[in-house]
Amino acid sequence: MIFNEQGYIDIDGMLAAEPTFQNIMNDGIVTDEELREQTDKVIELMHKAEQRFSAEDQIFIKRLFAETNVLTAIYQYYNLQKLK
């Protein structure tokens, strides 16, 4: 499910359901190797998207990816602000 009951993107739910995230977070520590492997996985998926989708679709996917990362970054920053 992409959206929660309030109609917002359920980022936490999507992460919790993702086996890759579960495996990385199993011990509560993110290692250099896990970070590198996840980076490689994302790069591989992006290359597959380039091969699979039209130029117009790629522009949309790039924008979606970028805006999702902006949301994730500001969400984390917002939570850190509350700790101050």
Domain boundaries, the chain: 32-83
pTM equals 0.76
Which amino acid would we find at residue 22? Q
Which amino acid would we find at residue 73? A
CB 24 within 8 A of CB 16: no
pLDDT at 2: 86
And the tokens for 61? 């996917």
pLDDT at 82: 87
Predicted confidence (pLDDT) per residue in 2-48, tens digit:
898 999 889 888 889 999 999 999 999 999 999 999 999 999 999 99
Predicted confidence (pLDDT) per residue in 43-84, tens digit:
999 999 999 999 999 999 999 999 989 998 998 999 999 887
pLDDT at 83: 87
pLDDT at 44: 96
pLDDT at 84: 76
Q: Residue 84 is inside which H or E element, if any?
A: none
CB 51 within 8 A of CB 44: no
Residue from 59, 63, 37 nearest 50 by CA: 59
CB 2 within 8 A of CB 9: yes
